[in-house]
């Protein structure tokens, strides 16, 4: 089933990029893809404590 997720990812990213370029309303979860998240101390703490889970 991992192939389905990989194939759908390109369409999802394309939709987000198109919304960003056209100035459309972005979904709430788009901050998870922002490079600015690395400046968030809470996010950085979460990354420091993150353990591998065997996921792709």
pLDDT at residue 45, rounded to an integer: 95
Structural tokens at position 27: 């979904």
Assess contact for 16 and 30: CB atoms under 8 A: yes
pLDDT of residue 4: 67
Domain boundaries, the chain: 2-49
- Dump pLDDT digits (tens) for 1-56: 456 667 778 888 888 889 989 999 998 988 888 899 999 999 999 999 988 887 76
């Amino acid at each position: 089933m991992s192939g389905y997720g990989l194939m759908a990812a390109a369409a999802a990213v394309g939709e987000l990029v198109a919304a960003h370029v056209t100035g459309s309303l972005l979904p709430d979860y788009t901050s998870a893809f922002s490079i600015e998240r690395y400046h968030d101390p809470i996010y950085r703490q979460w990354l420091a404590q993150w353990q591998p889970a065997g996921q792709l």
